[in-house]
Structure formats: structure tokens, C-alpha cells
Amino acid sequence: MDFPFSRIKGGVGAPQGFLTSAVSCGIKNPASDRLDLALIYSENPCSSAGTFTTNRVKAAPVRVSQSNLRKGDLRAIIANSGNANACTGVQGITDANAMCDAVAKPLGLKRSEIGVSSTGVIGLPMPMSRVEPKFESLIAGLGPKNGADVAAAIITSDTHPKEIAISFELGEQRVRIGGCVKGAGMISPSMATMLCFITTDANIPSESLRKSVLECVEESFNRITIDGDMSTNDTVFVLANGASGAPQIKRNSKECRKFREALCWVMLELAKAVVRDGERCTKFVTVKVVGAKTYLDAKKVAEAVCKSALVKASWNGGDPNWGRILHAVGYSRARIREELVDIHIGGKAACVGGLQSATPMDELRAAVAEPEFEILINLNQGNADYVMYSSDLSPEYIDFNRSEYAYWKQARKDGLV
């Protein structure tokens, strides 16, 4: 690691003073005993910040959480997988509020101190009859468990839980940041289809935290895309409880910059983990655009390349198809000149001045055969750059997403539709 942080065990439960719990409700499938309801709780009051999907269709828990977060004092997060509680109208809001109330009361908190998140199928009501009986054991289970239970309970089509924790010196004191994330499908910038929960025992006022969170999300979760579909449920929550005993971080201080750097690193690692575990993906591709006239030109090029179905299909096939990359550069609406564009794949020149390079095809194919590689696109027109993280698109992705009819059948059985 090229930074002064140490990796430590666990995720959202790793920072001091955070307790976690998770139980199985059978939200998606009553016959399953998979964890699907999770709780994060801070023993101390917290500063908090968050970001949410910019989709105009927002899931009920997003609307409720946006309202609750206003004061910046969230102290607990309740989250479920299996049902997104999206496109569920007034009933959805009622259910999301009920989830907040169910944990607020026994924990002695106000409803507005609870963040709520849901992820899963859209358009079907929450099967609250299966969730409600589990709140008691959820709360009873709270303990210092490092957070792996939460990471496991929030995943859907992810192949594995994704969490991370680090510690580092802040002034005289050691502080910790832990986080977990779920991703897999409906992943696109601004923001990704995902839930991400981050805890820290640093002591930072909510206004400074909010600023750091916005900057770090811009450099991490807003830089990834799997399928270009922006979700209704995307949520990032960050809770800071000060339990490390470290002094309060002052605005614009050296400590503030260091904390922000650490938070960004954690978010970027989690964002990359989402891409690496994208639905039925086989490649992790870093697309770096340099030499653009402006930041926005660089961004447009990166987004067009990362979202092109044909480019992504070629990555899936291990084909170093620079022609398709260049064609996406061309339709990006960025100001580019074909004859100036260089494309490097895995460090090898594939296209120079808009034309095929002299690099032997076998070398380019070897680069794309790797599970992770970088595409460097130099527009040779200026000094602006932008980086994004993307995946391939596989036949299996489409196959996997062909039908959610089974969920509807379960909802029908539950009397919800």
C-alpha cells in the first residue's frame, strides 16, 4: 500500500463503539436462511453524512433516509436485501418508517437518527410480515462483531460480501474506518446501484464529514459502471462516532486532509470491489483518459467507452478491439480529433494517431487476456484527465437478468400483489 494506513480485520464493526447484527427473514425466499436484515449501531452519538441516487424514481428508504439525514446525526442503519422497496408508493414509505421505528424504540433513539436502506427487486411491496417478527432477535444480536454479518446480509446477486477496514494515526491518536458495500447489477455513475455503509471512530463534525463524503463519492462510486443502469436505491452512509478518543478534526486542517484521503481510499477500494464482483463479469478494466481539452471532455470519453455494449463484449471475448474503443471515443460528444488519438492496452500501444500500431497482435491479446488491465486513451489535445473503472458485459449477464418472474410469484404467494 502506498499510503500510511494499515489494513485491519473486519468492516463496519471494526471502528470502536460500533455494534452490528444480522438475521434471516426470508425476504426474497421464505425457504432460505440467508442473512437479509442487518443493523449497525453506534454506542455514542454520531456525525453522519450520505449520498443517494440521482434517479428521479427513488425508493421509499431513500426518501425516508434523505429526510432523516438532514440533521447529520444518524446513529444506526437498518438495511435489508431481497426487496428494494422501490415503486411501492405510500405503502413503501410506511414500511420504511416502520423499519426505522422498530429499531429506534428499543435502542432509545429517535426515528430521525436511523438510516434505512433496501436493495433487491423493484416494484413489489416489502413482505413486512416476514420482517417484523425478526426485529427482536436482530436487536438482541447486536455485538462487537467486526461487521462481516452486515456485509453478508446486504448482498443480492453479488458473489461474495465486500468489506474493508483500515487504521491510521490522526495527530497523536489511532483512528479506524470500516466499510462494506453491495453492488452487482444496475451499476452506473451518479451513482452506482449499491449500498455502502462506512463507520469511523474519528471525531469529525457533520459539516466537514459531509464535504469529505461528497468529494470521495465523486472520486470513487461515481467512477464505476457495470451495465449503465442507474438504480433507484443507491445509498452511501458514513457514521463518525468519535469513540477513538481522538480530538475533533478541525476544518481544513492537516488531519482533515488525511482523514479525507483515508476515506477516499476506503471508498475507492469498495467501489473497485463492486466492479470486480459485477454481475457475471470476468474483467476489471481501468479506463484512463488523458490529454483532453477539459475535464468534461475526458469524462465524456471515459463514460462512452465504459458504457459501450460492443466494447464491453470485446473485453468479454479477450479481443483487444481498439477500433470499437475509438468508435466510442468518437460518439462521446467530446471534442476529439481522430488522427490524434493514441490507445494503449495493458501498457502496449494498440492505436497511434488513430491508426493500428505496430505492436504484435499476440501482445495485445495477452494484455486483454488478464482479468484486470488498463486502457489508456490519450486525446493529445490538452492536459485534462479522468479515470473510470468498468467491467465486461457477458452473455451470462443478460441471461441472468432475463426474468424476475420468480420474485413476482413469491409476492403473489405472500398476498402482496
Residues acting as catalytic residues: 193
The contact pattern for its own copies, residues 186-225, with x = CB under 8 A and - = no contact, is x-x-------------------------------------
Pair 197, 180: CB distance under 8 Å: yes
Q: Is 345 in the site for its own copies (CB under 8 A)?
A: no
Q: Nearest approach, Cβ of 396 to its own copies (angstroms)?
A: 7
Q: Measured in whole angstroms, how far is the alpha carbon of residue 233 from the centre of its chain?
A: 11
Q: What is the DSSP letter of 164?
A: E
Sequence-distant (≥ 6) Cβ neighbours of residue 12 within 8 angstroms: 18, 20, 40, 147, 150, 151, 163, 178, 179, 180, 197, 198, 199
Q: Nearest approach, Cβ of 341 to its own copies (angstroms)?
A: 8
Q: Nearest approach, Cβ of 387 to its own copies (angstroms)?
A: 22
Cα atoms found within 13 Å of the Cα of residue 259, Cβ hemisphere only: 34
Candidate residues 14, 121, 195, 213; the one interacting with its own copies per rule CB under 8 A: 121
Q: What Å distances lie between residue 5 and 193, 199, 209, 249, 263, CA to CA?
A: 28, 16, 19, 17, 11
Q: Is 87 in the site for its own copies (CB under 8 A)?
A: yes
The stretch among 26-34, 94-102, 139-147, 331-339 that binds its own copies (CB under 8 A) is 331-339
Q: Is 365 in the site for its own copies (CB under 8 A)?
A: yes
Q: Is 396 in the site for its own copies (CB under 8 A)?
A: yes
- Three cell numbers at 106? 428499543
Please give the order of strands across the beta sheet that includes 384-391. Answer: 224-225, 384-391, 284-292, 372-378, 342-345, 348-352, 355-356
Strands 6-7 and 173-182: what pairing? unpaired
Crossing angle for the helix pair 254-276 and 206-218, to the nearest 10 degrees: 40
Q: Is 369 in the site for its own copies (CB under 8 A)?
A: no
What span, in angstroms and rounded, lies between the C-alpha atoms of 179 and 162?
Answer: 9
Candidate residues 29, 57, 110, 136; the one interacting with its own copies per rule CB under 8 A: 57
Q: Is 123 in the site for its own copies (CB under 8 A)?
A: yes
Q: Nearest approach, Cβ of 383 to its own copies (angstroms)?
A: 20
Q: Is 86 in the site for its own copies (CB under 8 A)?
A: yes
Q: Nearest approach, Cβ of 397 to its own copies (angstroms)?
A: 7
Candidate residues 88, 118, 146, 244; the one interacting with its own copies per rule CB under 8 A: 88
Sequence-distant (≥ 6) Cβ neighbours of residue 254 within 8 angstroms: none
Q: Is 96 in the site for its own copies (CB under 8 A)?
A: no
The stretch among 17-25, 26-34, 50-58, 167-175 that binds its own copies (CB under 8 A) is 50-58
Candidate residues 184, 266, 285, 393; the one interacting with its own copies per rule CB under 8 A: 393
In order, the DSSP letters of 318-375 are: T---HHHHHHHHHHT-S---GGG-EEEETTEEEEETTEE-SS-HHHHHHHHHSSEEEE
Q: Which residues bind its own copies (CB under 8 A)?
A: 54-58, 86-89, 121-124, 185-186, 188, 227-232, 307-310, 313-314, 316-319, 321-324, 326-332, 336-339, 351, 353-356, 361, 365, 393-399, 401-405, 408, 412, 417
